Structures are given as C-alpha cells and as structure tokens.
C-alpha cells in the first residue's frame, strides 16, 4: 500500500470497527465515527502525544470527544493504538452491561477516556478547563514539566448548545492557544439538516470571541494535518471546521440523518465495505493496518520517556510537589490549621454570614493548599471566594489563582470539571444558590465522574431578601441533594463552615456544594473539639436539659431559630434537643445505631426547620413530623420580614410543637 492508501485504510479500520460494533449492539451511532475517522486518524497518528502503556502520564495531550454519541470512534482508536483497557472483546461488547465500552464514553471505565461526554457541549467546556489547567500548571512548573495540547472533537449539537458560547468566549478571552477544537462539520442533526434549525456562521462566531479559525476538507488527511499544524502555531485557540460527510462510506445513507443514531443494517454495511474496498470481516483489522496503528502507540510513548528524563533532573522538592498535586493528595498541615481556627472561633464567637465564614476558612486553607483555584461567576464580592493570596488569571498570564468566570454559570461548572479532570488543581467557584439551576447539567457530571469540584453557593434562602423570588432558592437544597454522589453542605455557623470546607477538600471522589447564608449568624458550636462533627452529617448540637421530648432538626441559618425555639420550649418545661444537619448524604452513610441515636425512637416529637421545601425531610422526621419551611416561592422584601411572613420563626416552631402536643 502507498502511504495515502495506508492512511485511508487506517481510517477505515475505525469506520468498520465502529459500524460493526453498532451493528452487533443493535443500537448506537455509526455516523460520527465513519464521518470523523480521517480526522481522528490524523490527530492520533500524527499529533497526539500520549503513551498507551502509561495512559495517566501527566504531560500527555488531552483528547475530548465532546460529541460523545460517537463513542465508538474513541474506543476504536484506543483499541488500535494498543491501550490495554480496550481489547477486541470490549469492542464486541459495546453497549452491554458491564462493558468498558458504554454507549457514551464514561470517565473511569477505561484509560484514554479523559472525560464523560454525551450531554452536548459539556466536552467542549471540559476541554477549556483542561487547557486552562495546563497553562496554569505550566506557569507554576515550567515548559519542561507541563507543555501539552488539548484537542476536542465537537459536533453541530455541541455548537448549538448555549454552553458552547460561554466556554468559547472564556477560552478566547483568556487566549488559550493550546486548545484546538476540531468541528465535525457534517451539516446533519437528528432531525435532519442543520439548516432546519440553524443558520449560524460558526467560524464567524468563534472569531467574534478572539479565536483563530480554519477550515478544511475533513476527508483529506493532508489538509487536516496542515490545519492542525497551523493551529499549533497560533497565539489564540483555534477552531478547525472539518467539512465531513456523516456516515462516510455508507452509500445509501451517508450524508443523511438516517446514519446518525441507528445501525446501518446488514445490507448497507456490506455496501459500505464494498464502497470503501474493505474486504475484511466484522471486527477484523488486517495485521498490516493494526501494526501500523500499534507503531503509532509505541512511537508516541517516546515523548513520554523524554519527559521522564527531563523530569528526573528537576529539583526534588518541586518534583515531589508536582507529583503530590497530580495525585490529588492534600499538603500536610491542613488539619492542624483548621483545629487552630476552630479553637479561635470558639474563643471569639463571631456573628458573621456563613459566606464570610467560608472566606475566612479559605484564607487559612488557601495559604496552605496552593492547588486551590478559586473563582466566581461575576459575584466575587458576594460569594466571598477570592482570598488575599489570589491574583486573577488574565489573558496570557496564568500564574494567578482566581478566575473571573464572567456571567457563565454553566461553563464555569463544566470548566471546573475539566480542571479537576486535568489534575493539579482543586477548583472551586461561586454563584448564588438559585443559579445552581444554570450549572446543573455540569454539576451532574461532576458527580457522575466523581470529581473534587467545590461549588460555593451563597445567598442560600429567602434570607437574601429584596432581590425576590427569582433569586431566592426554595427547592434547590432538595434538588441538589437529589443528585447521586453530590455532597450538599449547609453549615450553621463559622465552625461548621470550616468543617464543611475540610470535608469538601478531603472528598477526593465526589463534588461538594456549600450552601451559605447572605445574612449574619451567631457562632452556635461552642464546645471545643478537634473532631469534625459535620462529618457525621447530623449531630446533637444542643442537648435537652433531660430526656428529650422534642427534637428540632435544622440546617444553616435555621439552626439559630432552632436554638431560640429550644430556649422557649425548655423555659416552658418541654425538654428539647437541637440536631444540626450540615449534610444529609453523610448522615445517610452513618451506622444504623448512630442514626437511631440522632433520629430517636419515634416517641419524641420530630420537627424540622429549613427555609426550603419539605421534600427529603420526611426521611428524617417521618411522614408525621412537623416541618417549618417553605411551601412555595419566596417574595421580595427585607429578610426579617420574609422570615416572619413565611412563618419560619421560633414562635411558629413553639406554636406548632404545642399544638401537636395539645392534640
């Protein structure tokens, strides 16, 4: 075979492995792998730096298949390149329960899958996060240790999603020139032609946000290579519009939406084999072609070995610090500093908002933990996420530790996913809790991927006051607690705030939300203990004066109300304890015995106070428990007037308890 013939055959190997796997599964998406096979072949064989045998090598290039439905493209490439996790058996088991080759690429299923994709647009924003993390790590550790490129393959769907605009405008602003986005420009979506629903000039849109833009024939491997070469030399991020035919090679269906998301069918698949001159059986890749792919894998690993050599010459302390950060271990000293801070809080008993308490905790943490990378979606002064150590990252200058994400909540969350996936940083950033709705699709992926991403969500109730119901979260605590593997913290005071921060930092394989008050709150945790009580999820913060008849459960700003109600009830002879519940998820994970101690045996009256909806609380207080909180949207007015108006007061609690006991 001539070189061009071999290159075409290498691409055809992707095409037919993909189409065969979809055919065997009886479902899946052959259109993208067949259409983008040439792009992937050029990228993987000529540009991408990686090592199939050391896939976690930190200075590898990153490849994000943002159009995740084309998962077989990635699986085929990983198999062809010789990644151990994806063998031919895995390709055959595509979309079967327990296979590494899930319907969409799932982070953690196999090495080489850099992020979970499928929900459109997310991968593009993840890639922005990875490219940003790369530059930020480079600014700290230098070219010898960190110098790689992030590539993303996106489809029309990724580009139609709003998150694409947020992500690309941030990348353009920050001049992330080591980000190269390859657009599988096939003009087809599920419903038919893109022109059914969109007429955007995508290149012009990217250019409007400072991108370098190129276009090429996505089936001309030399043209693709030339474009990537040009992109690599750019001082700006680059979009390469690769004009492709979806389902390239399938004579009856190529170029139509019929090839997007269904198997080709026996006949069409046979016709495609004939059309492309692929004379091999299902899942068969001739040795000559497979060898050529495997050689790429071997060759690519040479770069890794050079890096190892360079790395070995680096100062030991720097080397150690780099590896610690890549591993995700916290530096020593965090625990002690937090203990000291808790003791100081116990002595000083400040009355401050928990968003302020979070800032004070961060002042201590950020001084010891250099890998935190803070930010805010244009609410820096309100979220209190920027501490004295933090200079802002700016276009071309990545030494800072704070990101002005702009009014881009969704991309902020997805970019943080990319930063966490890249490694070397613990990203955290803020917005108002109510705007978690904008972030939600990306937050779900933080949880699904088990990434240590920390969401600082301030103004966590009607306590934000006058901005009114559009800005007052009501259902958001419940809605976030609903996400599996997401830890939702709502600290009651400055002591719990720092404890929750400690837990969020220690949580290496789960994201966290910190829901924080706008309004000032007293220090309520007065007993001096090094133990992190918040780790229990719920604990008795204020015991009854004897055998409790009433248990009041509360979180965050409502624990203060619980204390006031307790005082009133105790003064009237009703023995009452208060349980603070900073984290439902951690409480759910406690032993049955501990849970029983906290929840009681059913003879005490249970009452919960939270300035949100009841949903989820029945699990703690039972169907017959009393709930004092919200049953609908909030209103605009001063916070104290709102608490009064919605009946979230100590008096209301006392009254409800008395009414029930009288009944």
Q: What are the binding residues?
A: 29, 69, 118-120, 156-157, 186, 188, 260, 355, 382, 435, 459, 467, 471, 518
Query: Which range touches its own copies (CB under 8 A), out of 155-163, 177-185, 294-302, 355-363?
Result: 155-163
- The token pair at 99 is 């296979």
Q: Please tell me whether residue 399 binds its own copies under the rule CB under 8 A.
A: no
| CA-based nearest residue to 151, from 224, 101, 82, 202 | 224
321 or 467, CB closer to its own copies?
467
Site for its own copies in 304-333 (CB under 8 A): none
Known binding residues for Mg(2+): 156, 186, 188
Q: Please tell me whether residue 512 binds its own copies under the rule CB under 8 A.
A: no
Pick from 190, 288, 302, 651 the residue near its own copies by CB under 8 A.
190
Query: Which range touches its own copies (CB under 8 A), out of 6-14, 30-38, 81-89, 440-448?
Result: 440-448
Query: Which range touches its own copies (CB under 8 A), out of 438-446, 451-459, 547-555, 653-661?
Result: 438-446
Least distance from its own copies to the Cβ atom of residue 646, Å: 10
Note whether 242 and 61 are within 8 A (CB). no
How does strand 238-243 pair with strand 512-516? unpaired
505 or 628, CB closer to its own copies?
628
6 or 633, CB closer to its own copies?
633
Q: Please tell me whether residue 652 binds its own copies under the rule CB under 8 A.
A: no
Q: Please tell me whether residue 470 binds its own copies under the rule CB under 8 A.
A: yes
41 or 446, CB closer to its own copies?
446
Q: Please tell me whether residue 590 binds its own copies under the rule CB under 8 A.
A: no
Q: Please tell me whether residue 299 binds its own copies under the rule CB under 8 A.
A: no
If residue 64 lies in a helix (H) or strand (E), which one and from where to where? strand 62-65
Q: Please tell me whether residue 483 binds its own copies under the rule CB under 8 A.
A: yes
192 or 328, CB closer to its own copies?
192
Q: Please tell me whether residue 559 binds its own copies under the rule CB under 8 A.
A: no
Q: Please tell me whether residue 641 binds its own copies under the rule CB under 8 A.
A: yes
- What phi, psi does 95 have (nearest 5°)? 70, 15
Query: Which range touches its own copies (CB under 8 A), out of 9-17, 309-317, 437-445, 518-526?
Result: 437-445
Contacts for 629 with CB less than 8 Å, ≥ 6 apart: 558, 608, 609, 610, 611, 612, 613, 614, 617, 648
Q: Determine the Cα–Cα distance for residues 586 and 535; give it in Å rounded to an integer.
A: 7
Q: Please tell me whether residue 509 binds its own copies under the rule CB under 8 A.
A: no
Least distance from its own copies to the Cβ atom of residue 208, Å: 4
Q: Please tell me whether residue 569 binds its own copies under the rule CB under 8 A.
A: no
Site for its own copies in 365-384 (CB under 8 A): 376, 378-382
| CA-based nearest residue to 357, from 477, 532, 460, 491 | 491
Q: Please tell me whether residue 518 binds its own copies under the rule CB under 8 A.
A: no
Note whether 452 and 511 are within 8 A (CB). yes
Task: Assess whether 499 carries a catalytic annotation.
Answer: no
Q: Determine the Cα–Cα distance for residues 259 and 663; give it in Å rounded to an integer.
A: 67
- The token pair at 599 is 């929840």
Site for its own copies in 100-139 (CB under 8 A): 102-104, 106, 116-120
Cα dist from 340 to 185, 345, 353, 359, 526, whole Å: 57, 9, 20, 16, 14
Contacts for 309 with CB less than 8 Å, ≥ 6 apart: none
Q: Please tell me whether residue 92 binds its own copies under the rule CB under 8 A.
A: no
Least distance from its own copies to the Cβ atom of residue 648, Å: 14
Query: Which range touches its own copies (CB under 8 A), out of 95-103, 216-224, 303-311, 545-553?
Result: 95-103
Cα dist from 519 to 357, 383, 428, whole Å: 11, 12, 22
CA 281 to chain centre: 40
Q: Determine the Cα–Cα distance for residues 518 and 379; give it in Å rounded to an integer.
A: 12
Q: Please tell me whether residue 589 binds its own copies under the rule CB under 8 A.
A: no
Pick from 229, 631, 659, 661 the residue near its own copies by CB under 8 A.
631
- The token pair at 385 is 């996420």
Known binding residues for substrate: 29, 260, 355, 382, 459, 467, 471, 518
Q: Please tell me whether residue 613 binds its own copies under the rule CB under 8 A.
A: yes
Pick from 205, 319, 339, 660 the residue near its own copies by CB under 8 A.
205
Contacts for 476 with CB less than 8 Å, ≥ 6 apart: 433, 434, 436, 437, 457, 460, 515, 612
Site for its own copies in 70-89 (CB under 8 A): none
The 10 Å Cβ neighbour count of residue 302 is 11
59 or 409, CB closer to its own copies?
409
Query: Which range touches its own copies (CB under 8 A), out of 270-278, 327-335, 492-500, 638-646?
Result: 638-646
The 10 Å Cβ neighbour count of residue 642 is 23
Q: Please tell me whether residue 157 binds its own copies under the rule CB under 8 A.
A: yes
Q: Please tell me whether residue 481 binds its own copies under the rule CB under 8 A.
A: yes
Query: Which range touches its own copies (CB under 8 A), out of 38-46, 162-170, 326-334, 530-538?
Result: 162-170
Contacts for 422 with CB less than 8 Å, ≥ 6 apart: 62, 129, 130, 133, 134, 137
- What phi, psi does 496 have (nearest 5°)? -65, -35
Contacts for 573 with CB less than 8 Å, ≥ 6 apart: none
As a residue count, the chain comes to: 663
25 or 225, CB closer to its own copies?
25
Pick from 281, 317, 571, 623 the residue near its own copies by CB under 8 A.
623
| CA-based nearest residue to 363, from 345, 388, 400, 399 | 388
Catalytic one of 134, 359, 409, 496: 409
Q: Please tell me whether residue 25 binds its own copies under the rule CB under 8 A.
A: yes
Cα dist from 409 to 174, 210, 390, 419, 437, whole Å: 17, 21, 20, 15, 9
Pick from 47, 438, 563, 587 the residue near its own copies by CB under 8 A.
438
Q: Reduced to 3 states, what is the DSSP secondary structure of residue 342?
A: helix
Pick from 469, 522, 564, 585 the residue near its own copies by CB under 8 A.
469
Q: Please tell me whether residue 632 binds its own copies under the rule CB under 8 A.
A: yes
Longest dimension (CA), the chain: 94
| CA-based nearest residue to 46, from 75, 72, 11 | 11
- State the residue for tokens 């405008």: 169
Q: Please tell me whether residue 663 binds its own copies under the rule CB under 8 A.
A: no
Q: Determine the Cα–Cα distance for residues 60 and 304; give it in Å rounded to an integer.
A: 8
Q: Please tell me whether residue 24 binds its own copies under the rule CB under 8 A.
A: no
Site for its own copies in 27-56 (CB under 8 A): 27-28
Q: Determine the Cα–Cα distance for residues 277 and 464; give it in Å rounded to an integer.
A: 67
Give catalytic residue positions: 409
């Amino acid at each position: 075979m001539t070189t061009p013939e071999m290159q075409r055959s290498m691409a055809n190997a992707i095409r037919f492995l993909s189409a065969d796997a979809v055919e065997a599964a009886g479902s899946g998406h052959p259109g993208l792998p067949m259409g983008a096979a040439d792009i992937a072949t050029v990228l993987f064989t000529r540009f991408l730096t990686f090592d199939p045998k050391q896939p976690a090598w930190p200075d590898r290039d990153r490849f994000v298949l943002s159009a995740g439905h084309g998962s077989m493209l990635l699986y085929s490439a990983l198999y062809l390149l010789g990644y151990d996790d994806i063998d031919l058996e895995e390709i055959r088991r595509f979309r079967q329960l327990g296979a590494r080759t899930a319907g969409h690429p799932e982070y953690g299923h196999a090495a080489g899958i850099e992020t979970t994709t499928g929900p459109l647009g997310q991968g593009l924003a993840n890639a922005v996060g990875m490219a940003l993390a790369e530059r930020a790590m480079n600014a700290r550790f230098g070219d010898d240790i960190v110098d790689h490129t992030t590539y993303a393959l996106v489809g029309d769907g990724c580009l139609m999603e709003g998150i694409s605009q947020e992500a690309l405008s941030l990348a353009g602003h920050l001049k992330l020139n080591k980000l190269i986005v390859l657009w599988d420009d096939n003009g087809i979506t599920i419903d038919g032609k893109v022109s059914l629903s969109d007429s955007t000039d995508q290149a012009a849109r990217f250019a409007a946000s400072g991108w370098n833009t190129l276009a090429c024939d996505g089936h001309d491997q030399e043209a693709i290579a030339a474009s990537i070469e040009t992109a690599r030399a750019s001082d700006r991020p680059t979009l390469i519009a690769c004009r492709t035919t979806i389902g390239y090679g399938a004579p009856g269906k190529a170029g139509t939406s019929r090839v997007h998301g269904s198997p080709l069918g026996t006949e069409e698949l046979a016709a495609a084999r004939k059309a492309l001159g692929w004379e091999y059986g299902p899942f068969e890749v001739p040795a000559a072609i497979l060898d050529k792919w495997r050689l790429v894998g071997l060759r690519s690993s040479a770069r890794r070995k050079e890096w190892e050599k360079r790395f070995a010459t680096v100062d030991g302390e720097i080397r150690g610090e780099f590896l610690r950060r890549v591993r995700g271990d916290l530096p020593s000293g965090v625990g002690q500093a937090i203990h000291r801070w808790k003791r100081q809080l116990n002595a000083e008993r400040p009355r401050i908002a928990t968003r302020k308490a979070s800032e004070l905790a961060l002042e201590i943490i950020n001084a010891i933990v250099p890998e935190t990378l803070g930010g805010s979606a244009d609410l820096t002064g309100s979220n209190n996420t920027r501490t004295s150590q933090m200079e802002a990252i700016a276009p071309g200058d990545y030494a800072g530790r704070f990101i002005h994400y702009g009014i881009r909540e969704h991309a902020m969350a997805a970019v943080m996913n990319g930063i966490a996936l890249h490694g070397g940083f613990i990203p955290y950033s803020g917005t108002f809790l109510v705007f978690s709705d904008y972030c939600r699709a990306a937050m779900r992926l933080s949880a699904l991927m088990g990434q240590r991403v920390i969401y600082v969500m301030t103004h966590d109730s009607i306590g934000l006051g006058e901005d009114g119901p559009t800005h007052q979260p009501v259902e958001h605590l419940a809605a976030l607690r609903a996400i599996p593997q997401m830890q939702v913290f709502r600290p009651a005071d400055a002591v719990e705030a720092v404890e929750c921060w400690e837990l969020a930092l220690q949580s290496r394989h789960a994201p966290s939300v910190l829901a924080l008050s706008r309004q000032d709150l007293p220090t309520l945790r007065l007993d001096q203990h090094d133990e992190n009580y918040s780790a229990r999820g719920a604990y008795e913060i204020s015991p009854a004066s004897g055998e409790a008849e009433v248990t009041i459960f509360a979180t965050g700003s409502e624990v203060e109300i619980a204390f006031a109600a307790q005082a009133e009830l105790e003064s009237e002879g009703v023995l009452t304890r208060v349980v603070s519940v900073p984290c439902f998820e951690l409480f759910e994970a406690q032993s049955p015995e501990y849970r029983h101690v906290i929840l009681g045996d059913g003879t005490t009256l249970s009452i919960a106070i939270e300035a949100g909806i009841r949903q989820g609380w029945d699990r703690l207080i039972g169907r017959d428990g009393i709930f004092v909180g919200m049953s609908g949207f909030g209103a605009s007015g001063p916070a104290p007037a709102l608490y009064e108006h919605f009946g979230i007061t100590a008096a209301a609690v006392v009254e409800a308890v008395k009414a029930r006991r009288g009944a």
